[in-house]
Amino acid sequence: MQFRMSLSLFLVFVLAVPMALVVGSASASLSKPEFTVQYVDHSYDVPPTYGKDAYTGQTIIVSGGYHVDNRTIDVTIRNQPFASYNASGHMTQLYYNVRSKGHFEDWNGASVRTVNAFEASASGYTVVSINIAYWSVREGGQIDFQVQAIAGYPAADAAYCGSIHFTTVEEGPWSDIQTITIGSASLPSPTVQPYVPFPTPDNTWEQNSPTLPPAEPTENPIMPNMQSGVLLGVDFERMALIIMVVAVVVMALSMVVLWRRLATK
């Protein structure tokens, strides 16, 4: 009797552990993002263009030069490991939400601004640059920032005439708060070409910038930070867990057959 009880408990254990691993792999796997915040001056001068007078042959100024004031807050996020997986027929990818507020206001106040579903880069870091030209922040003002990692996918919505909408599948916890004080902006790093969202009247930043020059390619533009191996819609990690569960079930059934044979003797 004691042998039968021990064998039953063992079978329950070997069946429960792999299933817990499978459930754990499908649950929240996103962690608090690590990031830095810096006030950077990306301003630049556009030189005048010159031409030739058709009647005198003299060089003339066709259009005058001008200065572009492009001071930004650069949020540099360390990309966390992420394995893409199938969700309702769509492969998920890693994205980030960024939110900010005045230091002396809560997260429900009027100063809260957000960048939603900003896709992670293929390198080790993702840079979200926020143009503060539209903000009423005086020198010495303080701004709080938080970052959240999310998994999801963009897809066309037939109800909105094929426009692209983002579907969030999984959300990680919000990061710790980082506070920046607006003062003298630092010069940008020559290797970083930020992507600058511009705010709209409803305090939501868009991810398009008509004033910045295109990013220059680097020597090593691709540093994969995502595991994208997929077999029939299942990534390698989940496939390994499924195989392990099947193996354990087969072993458990074999032990049940062996136990019955021993019990009949």
What is the per-residue pLDDT across 155-202, written as a single tens digit (0 to 9) for each? 876 566 656 789 999 999 999 999 999 887 776 654 444 444 444 334
91: which strand partners? 86
The total of other beta-carbon atoms located within 10 Å of residue 87's CB is 15
pLDDT of residue 55: 92
The more confidently predicted of residues 253 and 77 is 77
Q: Supply φ then ψ for residue 219, to 5 degrees.
A: -65, -35
Q: Output the pTM of the full model.
A: 0.58
pLDDT of 116 > 70? The answer is yes
